Amino acid sequence: MKRYKVLFFVFQLLVCTTVHANVLDICSTCENKQIGKAISLANAHDTLLVQKGVYKEFALSIDKPLTLLGVGNPTIDAEGKGEIISVTSDSVNIIGFIIKNVGISHTRDLSAVHLYKVDYFNLIDNQLENVFFGFLIEKSHHGLISNNKVQGEGKKEFFSGNGIHLWHCSDVIVEKNHLSGLRDGIYFEFVDESKVRNNVSIGNIRYGLHFMFSNNDTYSNNRFENNGAGVAVMFSKFVNMNDNLFIKNWGPASYGLLLKEIYDSEIVNNRFQENTIGINIDGSSRIHYKNNDFIRNGWAVKVTGGCYTNKFEYNNFISNAFDVSYNSNLNDNLFINNYWSNYTGYDINKDSFGDIPFRPVNLFSYVVNQTPETIILLRSLFVDILNFSEKVSPAFTPDNLVDEAPLMKKIQW
């Protein structure tokens, strides 16, 4: 028995030495001067050590497991000629590059790094500049996209691509990336069991984050700021969104977060600040909103229809022009124990909950929903009088839409 073990060990040793991965150096004075040539020379599982310098190459095709390691941030400049790196093999790592100047095409999705049917990939510490699409990842699983900086120079939606674009993927971690000047910062379609965390998505033309048909995903600690239309999430189930910041998505067609057909999800600990609409909820049910801050938005929460059994509890609603807006008289959502800065009630028994219920929908927001043109009377004296009289004796706003026990003090967490 022992002999077999020894034999097996020797066999393993043999295997290891024959499959031993080589390291290929690439630099202007090395034997290998071009990355493309080195890739074709390399064996599977080799490491390409790319030294500092500018490599004017494009259409690099990686069809075997390789590690591309940049030393001192080497630059790959495609000079606008097209797709730069395309990967079709499993187990590929691309680490520490500056990749720039992808061309623009209206018929093909040109990208800086394109992965197709790749399992186990790592894309780390890269800087992508002036890209059309940044990372375009299709039908790939088990990957890490971390600490990259993706910058586009898009001006119009149809002349720009997405920063991190995932399609039919699963088990991918997207973290600590910085995305700006793109069409959508992060775009997910049919992506399951993935995590998006600690990313910053600023100043993109359309959405900071855009996902559809992507279930069981977690989005946490991200910052979405000043994007053309905010963040849009649609047609997904079991989504967790926590500790994110949605800031300054301000403009006639902007919102912090658009939820469309989202079910069974958790939205916890997020901050919505200075957005035209904090959350626009459309046909989304069984969502739990807890410990969110809504600060100085136009509309904090705008409910447009088909939203059932949502629960809003322990949220802070502070200085919004409209706290909650509804377009119907029906209400199947629960608002309880929130803090409302517009609340004027009292707390005699000192249990820290107000003794009279708060009605978050004011009459003017109801009127505006019925006839959008009336918004032009915003901040006129008559409207203030109207809201006051409705508050005293409600007649038009949904009857059961009340916070029965509003908090007296802002919640800290």
Partner 1 sequence: MIKILKYSFSDLMRSRWSYAYFLFYFLLGMGLLFLSNDLSKAIITLMNIVLVLTPLIGTVFGVMYFYSAREFTELLLAQPIKRKHIFLGQYLGISSSLSLSLILGLGIPFLIYGIGGSGQSVNFLLLLMAGVFLTFIFVALSVNITLRHENKIKGFGYAILTWLLLAVIYDGLFLIGLLMFNEYPLDSFTLLASVLNPIDLSRILILLKLDISALLGYTGAIFRNFFGTDYGMIVSLGVLCMWVIVPVGLLLRTAKKKDF
Residues in contact with partner 1 by the rule CB under 8 A: 250-252, 254, 276, 298-299, 321, 367, 370-383, 385-386
Structure tokens at 19: 């499959």
Q: How far is the CB of 204 from partner 1 (least distance, A)?
A: 18
Comparing CB distances to partner 1, the nearer of 259 and 367 is 367
What single letter denotes the amino acid at residue 367? V
Which residues on neighbouring strands pair with residue 200, listed in sequence order?
178, 223
Q: Which residues of 18-51 are buried (b: 16+ CB within 10 A; e: fewer)?
A: eeeeeebebbeeeebeebbebbeebeeebbbbbe
Comparing CB distances to partner 1, the nearer of 328 and 400 is 328
Q: How far is the CB of 203 from partner 1 (least distance, A)?
A: 17
Comparing CB distances to partner 1, the nearer of 174 and 368 is 368
Write the CB contacts of 291 (distance below 8 Å, at least 6 apart in sequence). 268, 269, 314, 315, 411, 413
Does residue 174 contact residue 195 with C-beta atoms inside 8 Å?
yes
How many whole angstroms from its chain centre is CA 199?
Answer: 8
Comparing CB distances to partner 1, the nearer of 257 and 407 is 257
Q: How far is the CB of 335 from partner 1 (least distance, A)?
A: 22
Q: How far is the CB of 292 from partner 1 (least distance, A)?
A: 21
Cα 384 to Cα 123: distance, rounded to the nearest angstrom = 55
Comparing CB distances to partner 1, the nearer of 72 and 372 is 372
Cα 131 to Cα 294: distance, rounded to the nearest angstrom = 34
Structure tokens at 253: 């067609």
Local structure of residue 394 (DSSP, 8 states):
-
Comparing CB distances to partner 1, the nearer of 74 and 298 is 298
Q: How far is the CB of 379 from partner 1 (least distance, A)?
A: 6
Q: How far is the CB of 249 from partner 1 (least distance, A)?
A: 10
Q: How far is the CB of 185 from partner 1 (least distance, A)?
A: 21
Does residue 270 contact residue 241 with C-beta atoms inside 8 Å?
yes
Comparing CB distances to partner 1, the nearer of 17 and 371 is 371
Q: Which residues of 116-143 are buried (b: 16+ CB within 10 A; e: fewer)?
A: eebeebbbbbbbbbbbbbbbbbbebbbb
Integer-rounded Cα Rg, in Å, for the chain is 27
